[in-house]
Every structure is written in structure tokens, then in C-alpha cells.
Amino acid sequence: MIQYQRYVLPNGLRLIVHEDHSTPMAAVSVQYDVGSRNESPDRTGFAHLFEHLMFSGSKNAPNYDEPLQMAGGENNAFTNNDLTNFYVSLPAKNLDTALWLEADRMADLNINEESLSVQQKVVVEEFKETCLNEPYGDAWHHLSALAYKEHPYRWPTIGLTPEHISEASLEDVRSFYERFYHAGNAIVVVAGDVTTEEVYRKVLKYFGHLPSGKTPERIAYAEAPTSKAQHELVEARVALDSLYMTFAMPHRTHPDFFVIDLLTDVLAEGPSSRLYRRLLKEQELATTIDAYVTGTHDAGLVVIEAKPREDVSLETLEEAILLQLEELRNELVPGLELEKVKNKLDSSMAFSELSIVNKAINLAFYEGIGDIELINTEETIYAKVSTEDLQRVAQQYLKPEQRKCLHYKSLGEVERLPLPTASE
Amino acid sequence: MQAPPIHPIDHVDLPTPDRHELSNGAQLYVIHADVQPVIKLEVLFEAGRWQEHRVSVAQATNVLWREGTEQITGAAAAERIDFYGATLQGHNSLDHTGFTLYVLEKFLPQVLPLVFDLVLAPSFPKKEMDTFIERAIAQLRINADKPDVQGYRLLTEAIFGRSHPYGYNSTEAGLRNLTRVDLQRHHALHFLGENTMAFAAGNISADSRTLIIEQLERLPKGGTRPQDRNLAPLKEKKIQHTLPHSLQSAIRLGRNFGRREHPDFAGMFVLNTILGGYFGSRLMTELREERGLTYNIYSSVDTMRYGGYIYLSAEVAKGQEEEAIKAIYDELERLQNELIEEDELEMVRAYLMGSFLAMVDGPFNTAETIRTLVSENTALPHFERLVETTRTITAVELRSLAQKWLSPEDFTMVVVGPEA
């Protein structure tokens, strides 16, 4: 149970405070309601590029990092399809420094040609390092495009191509900042060794006078359901084949989300999970296997990823996975198995509550999906899921004819490093 | 609005853990706090690469001891551990095998005795062994394409030597040579009381503590002395490996250093932070923030139980390797030739004091800090020395450390990437 206090400032800024006096530290998380979903199709990767630009300094803090380091703080940020989150952890007695820095860059970011051009290069190198130069690193480029036809989720957060990033102009940067980076589109969470009253006073002082921009409109996208299984083949220079199977599923706050989440745990959470135990261990078809939900604000995906053993074809592995899904549709998951995944979930929730940074980021996330109390009620929702519910969602969402599969095939001509023969 | 005043952190103390010396020679550290009812128990056996009689046997033993005993299959054990919501992870380091167990305190009695059943009498089933070898080889093949992994492999091999525990690289042949007898031998010789160190953190009741002690004491008495291992660095100081289709080059530089207890360690920790140990570091500022040559560049002083090395790492665009290497060398030389300005030094002190505070924030971070020290056979007061050195080291002292340890010609350089 996470106790918190929620405020909305007159300028629309949402503030969440969570006290935790078991630590001398404070965590500040500032989340903007903007992600790659807000990009135009010819300027993808922009939200993430902009996350980098937020470290270019601001009017009163020409260098973001220096004052924070002087205050003994650490910070980082991430961008995904739906949101951009900046978070700081520092000694609680220096909370002011973090709030001041965050408010200053919300108000008056330094936007200039030079920092744009440096960060464009940095992000292009990041693109190469994480996608283009990494085995299977572009799998999500193919997978997103296969799974979504209308929704901007059809491109990954890093962007469709490095060119989109290098072509961004200063004008694009300015208008993006104005549209999305303002008090009315932001959530501030403060957690740690603080008092609620003190935080409220300070946030009012640093953020209260900032203007509120227009809240960007939420566009609804409808994806046509597929009635026939779709397959895409990619051939690349990787050592082993890899299989990705997706199914469309509802958005993060839909009641079925929680049921499907548990169902993917039945499939692949832990070494006793079905796919791991049966396909990897018993049938020896795969060398790695995983199943998860994407958990996006809008309709998301169930994803099953697996790499077949060298002597096993992608088709054989796909058939074997489908058989497991068929069993979920036809037979009830035993009660003990359901209890197991629930226990696992309880445990991971309890562990995640030990970190104030985690708590701050989670509070911002739930506020961002429009239901902050879900952070506490979720536990009950999961607890109520029945074995019949699991079967129902398997029947509804895991139909073989609605799968979309990416077959990532090895071209087979991988350069092998001539390794030294180990002496013994 | 003007910058608010900053309150400096004057001191950071490592909380004193409860230390238990058990009847079989095992050591247990308990870090208790009134937090959520959870326990993280880390148990390490000095049964790593240093103790191997055959390459890769430590890695294999570390994975396969969990695969069942004569009494219970690996599948049944995994099922029970999962059922209670616990997570059992293998410990992966060069020096140790072992595990980390995450468990709700209420389920410790159901889970821990089972984990020790596995630890004490693994049957190393042939089938599981084959699966492990297949998976490890698959991973080796995927890694053959990764410039970062290849860069690390080539560099550590050059610094320590091809047969040295910290230098050798796993191979398909080495993995295929392993037999069950090798694993049984490694287990019997090294999974012993005196080789065991355990770290329990979280909300630990008296009953839980008793249970942990009781289970650790099931380990047989005895211990092993580490074998002597000779450093055999390669002669080559420049190693180039081509991955024709790569879009970037992985640049790795390294040199031998020493253990954490080396008298220069604390000063080098501060110097390394300035060079490439935090976001505001010189390498990050110059190569990333000023020139956009790389997404990530860092340096570190990596220490292990029996040795250590200084390590620099960056991925840069094809064609920009030379510029990047020159910029790195310039930074090394600047630290050797110029005194660090007081402003910069003050900032690094402040930043590090904050990070020390984070290292002892809560039972899990504290346990990790203690585990790092103990597993490297370093006395706990080392932490205080590190804090004290950070507060007091001078620019002149840092310059002489740079002169001693950061000469470009002492570094081995590995570049893995496309043809020039």
C-alpha cells in the first residue's frame, strides 16, 4: 500500500507526494504526457531526441548536471510510446536543487543549433548501438509495423530511420517544446524523506507561476482486427533464427489487461512456467523463450519471443507454441498454477516498494494513465482473477488466426571471431 | 529564479552489519531494517574461475546445481520455488558461484531448505547438461557478432593472458569438453563451509535468522586454498578485429591495476570518476556532449578478489575511430600534465558523497556494498577510507596517480569494427 497525496496546481500541474522516512534520500520524477505516439510519421524518433535536448541547460541553470552533482544527485530519463519521464535521486536536504532545475527547464529551456546538432549525432550513434549494430536490434521496427497499421505505435521510440533524427530542425524542436513541455502537460512526483506540506510549498514556489499551455488532444486510433494469421520474414546477419509472435490486446486500464498479464506469466514467468519448462527443457525446441504484455496506454500487444535450437525450424517452434496456446483455450489452468503466478506478483510488488525511485516513477505512470489509485487497487484486481477468466481471455485474445509473426532468419554467414584455444 | 543553496554531505557511514561466524566456517552478514516483509539472501561460494580445474566448469556448475538432486527433479524444485513467489538467480561473477534468493519473509521456511537441498547434493543430470551446453554455445555465437562483447573478450585476454582465470574466453570446444564428473568434482571441492559467505538483507526476524544459520550450517566443513595463477599478458598492445558489416567500432582500452586493497585504489576511484566515471566526466563531456562522437563512453576501475584493471569503453561511428582515440589519449595526458581545477574537484567530491549515501541507503544497497567488500576479501573499514580519500585528496596527488597509472603507452587498445 503506497500512501500519497495528490494536488492539482492552478496552472494544471499535477503533484503527487509520497513520504518514506526510512531513507535519507528523495526521488523526484517529472513526467510529460508525450511519447513517440505524438510524432508525425515523417519525423519519428523526435520525442526521444527531445529527451536528450532537455539536458542542454536552461535560463538560470546553463548546465543541468553541474548543480545536481554538487547536490550529490543522480538523474536519468526515458521515453517510450506514451510518455517521457525524467527522474532524480538525491539527498533529501537538497530537494530544492532538483525542483529548481526541473522547473527552470520546464520554463526556459536553452534551445540552440549547437546542442541540437551534437545531440542529433549522439542519438544517431545510440540508434546504431542499440538497433542497427546489435543482433536482432531492429526486430521491433519490423514487429511494430506488422502489429499496427494506423496507430503511431507502428514505429519504435528510437525512430524509423536515423535520417528522421538528423533531419529535425530547430523549428521542430521549438514547437515540440511549446506543445508538450508545460505545466498543464506534466506530472511532478516527490517521494522519500520529505513532508507533504513542505513539498507542496516548494513545488508551488518553483512551479506555481509557470504558464499552462494547451493540453494536447488525444487522438483515438482504431486498428482493424486481423482475421488471418500474418507472417513476415526478415533475413539478417545473425547467428540464430528468432521468432516473435504477437496478438492484439486491450489498453492498460481495461479489466482484461490484468488477466492477460497473468496469462503471460503462466506462459513464461520463471523456470517452472509452461513455455520454459515444456518447450525449452522438455521438448528441447528453444534456447530462449519469453512472453509478456507491452502495457501501452492504448491497445497493446501480447508478445511471445523465442529462439529455436539450431536444428529446429521456426515453423516447428511456432507450431509448438500454438499448441500451448490451444491448451490454454481448451483447458482450465489449474488453481495452484494460478496461485503461483499471483504469489510471484505479490512478491515482485513488495520488492519494488523498497526503492523510492521506483515508487516515484510508478506513481507518475498511474497518474499518467488517468487512475492513480490503481497503484493500490491493482493488487485486488489481480487477486480476483479466476482460472475461468484466464480461459476466457485465452479464447478471446489468443486465437491462432489473429497472430502476427515475425520470422527473423539467419543468413548463415556470420563472421566468427577466431578464438584462441583455451588451454587447460 | 536563482539557484537554491546546496547543503553539503559531510559524512557517510556504512551501517555495521551483524556478523556470524558459523560452526562450519561460513560467514553470514545480516542487514536488517523495518521495511516491507521481504528478504534478499545472497550466498557466494569461492568456487569461481580461480578454483577451476578445467575451463568453464564454474559457469556450468553455477547453472546446473539448480537442476535437481536424487530426491527431487529440477522441474519440481523450480515449481515449488516459483509457487512461493520466490526468485532464485545464479550469481554470475568471475570469482564466485552461488545464488541470490528473493523471497517474501513468510515463505522463507518453505523455500530455503529446498534451496539448500539443491546446493548440497546436485545430481547434474546429463540431459540438463546437454541443454546448458547448447544454450551457452548459442549465446557464444550470437555474441560473436557483438562488437562490445568481442572487445571485452579480447581486452581481458590481452591484459591477463589466455589461460588466466580473468583472461580466458569460453569456447565451443571448451564447453563441449565438460563432463558431469568435472562438475561433481568442482562442487565437491569448493561448495564448502569455509568457502561460503552469505548476506541476508531485508526485514529479518529472529526466526528467519535462525533458519538461515541452520541451513548454512548444513554445508560440509572445510575449505580450499586458491591455486597460484600467473599473469601472462599478451605482447600486442594494439589489437584490431574486423566485423565487416558493423556500423560502429567498439574501442576498449585497459591496463592491469590491482585489488581493491591496493594503496592507490581509493585515489584512483576519485581519479577515474573525473576521467570517465560519471555523466559529468571529462570523457563524457568531451567525446559525447561536445563532439557527438559516441552515445556512451565510460571508464572504470574493475576489481576482483585476486586482481583488477582499469577499463575504458566507447562505441564510435565508422571513420571516427582515430579522432576518438586521440581525444581519449588527450584526456589521459591532460590528467598527467595539468592540475585539476578546484571547481571540478569540488563537484566530484560532492557527487561522490551523494553516491556513497545512495550506496548505504536501505538494507539492499547496504548489503550490496558489504558484499562487494567481503567478496573481494576487503575489510569493511575500506569504505571509510574511500569516503575520507574522496573528501581530502588533492589535485597534486591526483596528478601523480595519473602519471603512475594513466600513461597511454601502458594501455592495451582493442578496436572491433568495420574495415577502415
Nearest-CA distance from A288 to chain B in Å? 8
User: Based on the domain organization, do A240 and A375 belong to the same domain?
Assistant: yes
Closest CA–CA distance from residue A77 to any residue of chain B (Å):
13
Q: Do A170 and A318 belong to one domain?
A: no
| B191 alpha carbon, distance to own chain's centre | 20
Residue A238 near chain B (CB below 8 Å): yes
**pLDDT band of A423, cuts 50, 70, 90:** very low
- What's the confidence (pLDDT) of residue A224? 87
Based on the fold, state whether residues B206 and B260 are members of the same structural domain.
no
Task: Flag whether A423 is in a domain.
Answer: no
pLDDT at A420 over 70: no
- Provide the pLDDT for residue B405: 98
pLDDT tens digits for chain B (420 residues)? 899 999 999 899 999 999 999 999 999 999 999 989 999 999 999 999 999 999 999 999 999 999 999 999 999 999 999 999 999 999 879 999 999 999 999 999 999 999 999 999 999 999 999 999 998 999 999 898 889 999 999 999 999 999 999 999 999 999 999 999 999 999 999 999 999 999 999 999 999 999 999 999 999 999 988 788 999 999 999 999 999 888 899 999 999 999 999 999 999 999 999 999 999 999 999 999 999 999 999 999 999 999 999 999 999 988 999 999 999 999 999 999 999 999 999 999 999 999 999 999 999 999 999 999 999 999 999 999 999 999 999 999 999 999 999 999 999 999 999 986
* B158 and B267 inside one domain: no
Report how many domains make up chain B. Answer: 2
Closest residue of A to B106, CA-based?
A347
Q: Per-residue confidence at A162, pLDDT binned at 50, 70, 90? A: very high
Interface test with B, best of A129, A161, A309 (most B CBs within 10 A): A129
CB–CB contact B315 A416 (8 Å): no
Provide the chain A residues 138-197 that lie in CB contact (below 8 A) with chain B: none
CA distance B280 to chain A (A): 7
Pair B70, B146 in one domain: yes
Structural domain contains residue A268: yes
d(CA A249, CA A294) in angstroms, rounded, equals 9
Q: Do A351 and B245 touch (CB under 8 A)?
A: no
Q: How far is A319 from chain B (nearest CA, A)?
A: 21
Both A145 and A66 in one domain: the answer is yes
> Both B282 and B202 in a single domain?
no
Whether residue A273 sits in one domain with residue A203 = no
CB contact under 8 Å between A423 and B163, yes or no, is yes
Judging contacts by C-beta atoms under 8 Å, the chain A residues touching residue B82 are 269-273, 340, 344
- Give A136→chain B minimum CA distance, Å: 10
Establish if A114 touches chain B: CB-CB under 8 angstroms: no
Overall number of domains in chain A: 2
Q: B401 and B273, same structural domain? A: yes
pLDDT at A126 over 60: yes
The alpha-carbon gap from B74 to the nearest alpha carbon of chain A, in Å, equals 9
Of A145, A175, A207, the residue at which a domain comes to its end is A207
B83, B168, B197, B233, B261 from B230: Cα distances, Å:
46, 12, 26, 9, 19
Smallest CA–CA distance, residue A223 to chain B, in Å, is 35
Q: In this complex, is the C-beta atom of A424 within 8 Å of any C-beta atom belonging to chain B?
A: yes
Same domain, A124 and A41: yes
User: Which residue among A22, A132, A280 places its CB closest to the CB of B247?
Assistant: A132
Contacts of A91 in chain B (CB under 8 A): 7, 9, 354, 357
Domain boundary among B160, B181, B216: B216
- A197 and A325: one domain? no
Considering the domain architecture, whether residues B25 and B99 belong to the same structural domain is answered as: yes
A381 CB-contact burial (10 Å; exposed 0-12 / middle 13-18 / buried 19+): middle
Last residue of a domain, one of A207, A240, A270: A207
Do B247 and B353 fall within a single domain?
A: yes
Tell me if A373 is assigned to some domain: yes
* C-alpha distance from A153 to closest chain B C-alpha (Å): 25
Residue A420 included in any domain: no
Asked if A307 is an interface residue toward chain B (Cβ–Cβ < 8 A), one would say: yes
Q: B358 and A25: CB-CB below 8 Å?
A: yes
Same domain, B316 and B204: no
In a domain, B230, yes or no: no
Residues of chain B found within 8 Å of residue A309, distances taken between Cβ atoms:
134, 138
- Tell me if residue B27 falls in helix, strand or coil: strand
Residue B229 lies in a domain: no
CB contact under 8 A, B354 and A73: yes
Neighbours of A410 (CB within 10 A): 18
Give me the domain span that covers residue B302.
Answer: 238-417
- d(Cα A340, Cα A270) in Å, to the nearest integer? 10
Find the residue in B nearest to A59 (Cα).
B1
Q: Are residues A189 and A250 in the same domain?
A: no
Taking contacts as CB-CB distances below 8 angstroms, the residues of chain A near B201 are none
Residue A225 falls within a domain, yes or no? Answer: no
Asked if residue A313 belongs to a domain, the reply is yes
Q: Least CB-CB distance to B7: which of A94, A119, A288?
A: A94
A338-370, pLDDT tens digit by residue? 999 999 999 999 999 989 999 999 999 999 999
B181 and B289 share a domain?
no
pLDDT of residue A421: 36
Domain boundary among B152, B184, B216: B216
Global pTM exceeds 0.80: yes
Coil, strand or helix: which one is B297? Answer: strand
**Structural domain includes residue A17:** yes
Question: Which of B79, B86, B163 is opposite residue A347, by nearest beta carbon?
Answer: B86
User: Is residue B2 a part of any domain in this protein?
Assistant: no
Nearest beta carbon to residue B135 from set A272, A287, A339: A287
Where a domain ends, among A175, A207, A239? A207
Instruction: Kindly identify which residue of chain A lies nearest to residue B162, measuring between CA atoms.
Output: A422
Cα angle value B44/B114/B57 (rounded, 5°)? 45
* pLDDT value of position B244: 86
Range of the domain at A17: 5-207
Cβ contact, residue pair B144, A65, below 8 Å:
no
* A30 DSSP β-pair partners: A86, A188
Same domain, A294 and A384: yes
Q: Which three cell numbers stand for residue A309?
A: 535450437
What is residue B261's predicted lDDT score, i.e. its pLDDT?
95
Shortest distance between the Cα of A401 and any Cα of chain B, in A, equals: 31
Number of A–B residue contacts, CB under 8 Å: 239
CA distances from B133 to A403, B59, B110, B172, B176 (A): 32, 11, 31, 8, 7
Q: Tell me: do B258 and B337 sit in the same domain.
A: yes
- Among B85, B144, B354, the residue with its CB nearest the CB of A71 is B354
pLDDT (tens digit, 9 = 90+) per residue, A59-96? Answer: 999 999 999 999 999 999 999 999 999 999 999 999 99
**DSSP state string for B82-106:** HHTT-EEEE---SS-EEEEEEEEGG
CATH number for position B57: 3.30.830.10
How far apart CA B159 and CA A368 sit, in angstroms, is 49
Give the nearest chain A residue to B84 (CA atoms).
Answer: A343
Question: Is B109 in the same domain as B176?
Answer: yes
Of all residues in chain A, the one with the smallest CA distance to B137 is: A287
Residues A265 and A396 in one domain: yes
Whole-number Cα distances in Å, B165 to A19, A161, B154, B224, B254: 47, 42, 14, 16, 17
Q: Which residues of A fall within a CB distance of 8 Å from B342?
A: none
What value of ipTM does the predicted structure carry? 0.90
Do A184 and A319 lie in one domain? The reply is no
Picking from B46, B111, B66, the residue whose alpha carbon sits closest to that of residue B101 is: B111
Confidence (pLDDT) at A413: 55
Residue of B nearest to A64 (CA): B280
Note whether B208 and B245 are same-domain residues. no
- The CATH number given to whatever domain includes residue A387 is 3.30.830.10
In a domain, B232, yes or no: no
Residues A200, A310 within the same domain = no
Q: Is A338 on the interface with B (CB under 8 A)?
A: no
